[in-house]
Structure 1
Amino acid sequence: MREQYCDILIVGGGLGGVAAALAAVRMGRRVILTEETDWLGGQLTSQAVPPDEHPWIERFGCTATYRKLRDTIRAYYRRGYPLTEQARATENLNPGQGHVSRLCHEPRVAVAALDELLAPYRANRQLQVLLRHRPVAAETDGDRVTAVRLLDTGTGHELTASAPYVLDATELGELLELAGVEHVMGAESRADTGELHALEGPAQPLDQQSFTYCFALDHRPGEDHTIDRPETYGFWRGYEPDFWPAPLLSWVQVAPETLVRYEKNIFEPDKDFDLWRFRRILHKPLLAEGFAASDITLVNWQQVDYWLGPLTGVDDAERDRHLAAAKQLSLSFLYWMQTEAPNYQGGTGYPGLRLRTDVTDTADGLAKYPYIRESRRIRADFTVTEQHVGVAARGALLGSEEFRDSVGIGSYRIDLHPSTGSGSGPRQYLDVESWPFQIPLGALLPVRVENLLPAGKNIGTTHITNGCYRLHPVEWNIGEAVGALAAYCLDTGSAPRQVHTDPVKLDEYQKLLTDLGIELSWPREVRTQKKYN
């Protein structure tokens, strides 16, 4: 078995992992970055989800490197695509003109942008990227993780990597399980957290947010691109959850706050909501006339959320069964749209909807990896609860809790998609207001283990607060702060917990973050606002 050594080992190549790697190599450290798929970027690329961002993103509210990523994506379109002159001159170009974000784009463009950001450090050998490598075991010595065993899924060979610091940037917090790091899964009890919207009764570890296999479509009227009928289409065609006011395979969407149905045909836009435009990633009118035959849109809609079982806390066979069922759900919704969906002409079906396998770079047309909303989470020195960030939970207090140990900022609603429930069936949406918030260093420190740090959605949040800390720019900020922390500790001989408890070291570390371009607090005029997109 091969063995490799570096200063910082980052397992997981999603946004948090890439940001952690960038921070560490910028501070002169040698890094190994591993990724289970063949694309870096996680939810932005292999999961095919355009970025969910807050309304101030073009001016402030993200790190300098996240802003550089956004600029690099836009520059890619300006360099390589036949944009109209008006589109090319648009300062804040949005290639898809999607509703969900001010920057909706194709996944592979983000892959290219991330590669561009990392390229200099791969060239000088500071950074080694191992694609198609999945963690299968971890070695520990007391309160330290000494090595991680990785499986090359392409060759079947294994590699053991070791480093003074190991960062878990996996989508599901895989290293927490493998290394025996104390962690939480699913929904906590209100008795444990005191949260306004937490579960009554005991905690439910298997009550986890739904996940989704996203896919991309274009539309070719007059052509027939109908896929084969999925094996379990009959089940999904008849499935109607108790909390859903119609069959799941329908045009019906649910307003989470009130669970009131609203229905809109895919090609009948209005000023408030239109499925086709919601996550559209390429808009035909922005391109030279005749270049593109259609828009491209990304399907990550309520109808393809899978909530019939969790991915963590179950054995491999059950996990794989849920993954397969989630794929069947996504394909069944596509088949329904192509064959049975009421269309705007009064008939049924849109056979011209074409699955864009090239956009996701997969044979089945689905994303390389499911869109993960909830991970295992460390038991942390400090846990962010709803009382720290929720508008209703904070009552008369204006703004979120201010943390002296802030390592970054973010903003999003507490947005929980339906969860798997706990034996009595799925649990419905939770969507409530939160204030723009900070990321406390204490939430990045495991209660016991000294040299493993979380670099994604696996930080010290709860099931509730994960709903606002799980989005693209926040995950990037978490990863960047953790990568810088590991490098700082190596430079100074400090331990992460010392940085947290020693005011002098904390000030020095926070100054380092500021120098790297990480914002630690919101402008005063923003911190008590409740805008989200």
Structure 2
Amino acid sequence: MAFQQGHVPVLVIGGGIGGCGAALQCARSGVETLLVTPGPWTGGMITSGGVSAPDGNELSAWQSGLWGALLRQLRLELPDGLDHNWVSCFGFRPQQAESILQRWIREARRLSWWSGVEVLSLERNGDQLSKAVLQRNGEPITISFDVLVDGSELGDSLALADIPHRLGWDSQQQWGEPSAPSAEALKDPFFEREPVQSPTWVIHGQWQGPWTPPEQPVEPFSALFKGCADRFSLPQLLSYGRLPGQQLMLNWPLHGNDWPVDPGAVFSGDAQRQREQLTGLRQHSEAFLAQLQAACGPQLQPASAFAGEALAFQPYWREGRRLIGATTVIEQDLLPHSPNAEHQQQAIAIGNYANDHHYGEREWPLADKSMAWGGRRSGTPFVIPFGALYTPEISNLLMADKSISVSHMANGATRMGPLLLLVGQAAGQAAALCVQQRLAVAELPVSELQRQLLNDPVAPSGVVPCPELPWHQPDWAQLQLDRLDGESTQHQPATAPHEPASQQQRLLIQIDGERWWGDTESGQRLSLITLEPQVQQVLPDQHGRWLDLEGSANPFGPWWRVNRLCP
């Protein structure tokens, strides 16, 4: 890309997976785009941050957009499939996903990517951001732009441009959230010590040889990690984030490598506090891996996952600064049986993670947001409205990662990588439309944005939370549009396409309430789950019958994931 006098139509501050999604979508939509990232990779938490057994958006209906495209490309390229762990239905090595993302970036003709860039400052003129000063290769570079997309992990633009934002806890009195603390409770010093969720510097191990982890540690855990294998066994701890090739994602919340010491340091502006936090994060995860090595013996070694290192390129920040947007997603918007009709009309992305908060001193109880689906529990779906991506105060800023306008409670469900990739895709599409039509962000009709996302020729992205509508459904986009218009068009969920690495099994189906089982002809009993609505619709009525099924075994779930019924 040849920048004309230091100008680019869309500048994307990256570092998060949402920034990568925004840059790809904007460039694919025909607008010159510059993506800048602080590190050498583009994929945020799911690659650079090492969280490559991602939670959320697992059902077929939520596998649309760039997230679905990434999953399907991974399945094509990984002969052993993605069923390797029990925290997620998907597991891949960070480099495997990053190589796909970087290939897509190279193929996007209107996209340039600069790595190793620090954003030093942003210039604001009235209600517009106009210029960024970047440091690249030790030299400052000034770039002007028409639209800025913030796809950073921490909401960097909000601090750099002094844009009003929220950080940390909200009282129950503010929005009536059932899990939020009262204003009186917020006087507890705990909330000052832990204003945001604990971060983790994810580290990867490599299991060598046969998978035979000891049931009991060879050497006991030190006081720092005592109890890490109490609720779950040592083999379960290790297989929690098991990846292809027996690489192990170590992101363990139970007396593991979460780092609760001064979690607000990263936002403080105090360089000494920030250095101490990063040092503590790094050393704590390295100590955790060393303890696991002592507990397991020589079969567990550090992985060479990140340019030869075991530590991810960046910490996993669970929370950033949060925009005060035109619309705010709160806890009630996530819960079952409480859909926000206004938000659904503005929807630009769908998530479903079941909500989860990480603190060092105490576990935080949360209102249940799960449903029985496919032989297991799954998070109930919710939407991100377009108004959560922008503020009326700035006419040319879009947020594309964790720093969208959500409450502290809701952030526990909206912070997951698959959803952030979809939010980024929507932000990138919106940025392209604003440039092409010379609109302020708030002037963009959300219906036009929704139609562009649904009809995208490369990675169409869903906006209607209908679990019975899989990504591969014929007339999928039209059925989504019908629901946006209030029409409940009836359809039968389509049969899923064949998956590479899938197998066939003849099983005697046993349905026991929410749980499904399949007995093999040799008498082995398998726990069954599915992500496909056709299977969800048909299988509960097949109790006591022998069926031929196609799916994938996951001995670490342990479950057998049914993809489709054989003819």
Contact 1:380-1:459 within 8 A present in 2 as well? yes
Counting aligned pairs with the same residue, the percent is 26
Give the superposition deviation at 1:111.
1.1
Bigger relative contact order, structure 1 or 2 (CA pairs below 8 A, ≥6 apart): 1
Q: Choose from 202, 206, 215 the match for 2:203.
A: 215
Give the superposition deviation at 1:334.
1.8
Aligned to 1:23: 25
In structure 2, distance between residues paired with 1:75 and 1:409:
24
Q: Choose from 408, 411, 415 the match for 2:356.
A: 415
Matches within 5 A, 1:383-394: 383-391=328-336
Q: Which moved more, 1:518-527 or 1:25-34?
A: 518-527
Pairing 1:100–2:47 present: no
In structure 2, distance between residues paired with 1:133 and 1:470:
24
Contact 1:51-1:101 within 8 A present in 2 as well? yes
Aligned to 1:433: 368
Give the superposition deviation at 1:487.
0.9
In structure 1, distance between residues paired with 2:206 and 2:51:
16
1:423-453 deviation line (CA, Å, top 9, x unaligned): xxx3434454323101111111114111111
Over 3 Å counting, the alpha-carbon distance change for 1:221 and 1:405 in structure 2 is closer
Give the superposition deviation at 1:193.
2.4
Contact 1:62-1:410 within 8 A present in 2 as well? no
Q: Choose from 305, 311, 316 the match for 2:271.
A: 316
Q: Choose from 249, 271, 295 the match for 1:298.
A: 249
Give the superposition deviation at 1:278.
1.1
Pairing 1:141–2:86 present: no
Aligned partner of residue 211 in structure 1, secondary structure: coil
Which amino acid is the alignment partner of residue 262 of structure 2?
A: G
Give the superposition deviation at 1:252.
3.5
TM-score, normalised via structure 1 length? 0.77
Give the superposition deviation at 1:46.
0.9
Give the superposition deviation at 1:388.
1.5
Aligned to 1:359: 305
Q: Where do 5+ consecutive residues of structure 1 fail to align?
A: 79-86, 88-92, 223-235, 240-247, 254-261, 268-273, 284-294, 342-348, 392-396, 420-425, 500-504
Give the superposition deviation at 1:32.
0.3
In structure 2, distance between residues paired with 1:314 and 1:221:
46
In structure 2, distance between residues paired with 1:362 and 1:330:
16
Over 3 Å counting, the alpha-carbon distance change for 1:250 and 1:53 in structure 2 is closer
Matches within 5 A, 1:148-227: 148-152=132-136, 155-201=137-183, 207-220=195-208
1:245-283 deviation line (CA, Å, top 9, x unaligned): xxx344335xxxxxxxx141x23xxxxxx1121111124
Over 3 Å counting, the alpha-carbon distance change for 1:61 and 1:400 in structure 2 is farther
Q: Choose from 203, 209, 228 the match for 1:251.
A: 228
Aligned to 2:106: 119
Aligned to 1:70: 71
Give the superposition deviation at 1:106.
0.7
TM-score, normalised via structure 2 length? 0.72
Give the superposition deviation at 1:489.
1.3
How many residues are treated as equivalent by the alignment? 437
1:165-189 deviation line (CA, Å, top 9, x unaligned): 0011111111110011111111111
Aligned to 1:110: 97
Contact 2:55-2:88 within 8 A present in 1 as well? yes
1:42-76 deviation line (CA, Å, top 9, x unaligned): 1111111114244753x221433222212222233
Q: Which moved more, 1:203-212 or 1:446-455?
A: 203-212
Which amino acid is the alignment partner of residue 410 of structure 2?
A: T
Give the superposition deviation at 1:314.
4.7
Over 3 Å counting, the alpha-carbon distance change for 1:428 and 1:324 in structure 2 is same
Give the superposition deviation at 1:21.
1.1
Aligned partner of residue 449 in structure 2, secondary structure: helix
In structure 1, distance between residues paired with 2:57 and 2:105:
28
Aligned to 1:230: none
Aligned to 1:335: 290
Contact 1:76-1:113 within 8 A present in 2 as well? no
Contact 1:66-1:476 within 8 A present in 2 as well? yes
Aligned to 2:499: none
Aligned partner of residue 409 in structure 1, secondary structure: strand
Give the superposition deviation at 1:6.
0.9
In structure 1, distance between residues paired with 2:159 and 2:129:
12
Contact 2:57-2:351 within 8 A present in 1 as well? no
Contact 1:168-1:454 within 8 A present in 2 as well? yes
What RMSD, in angstroms, separates the aligned Cα atoms of the two structures? 2.6
In structure 1, distance between residues paired with 2:448 and 2:407:
29
1:103-122 deviation line (CA, Å, top 9, x unaligned): 2011111111101222222x
Give the superposition deviation at 1:325.
0.5
Which amino acid is the alignment partner of residue 18 of structure 2?
A: G
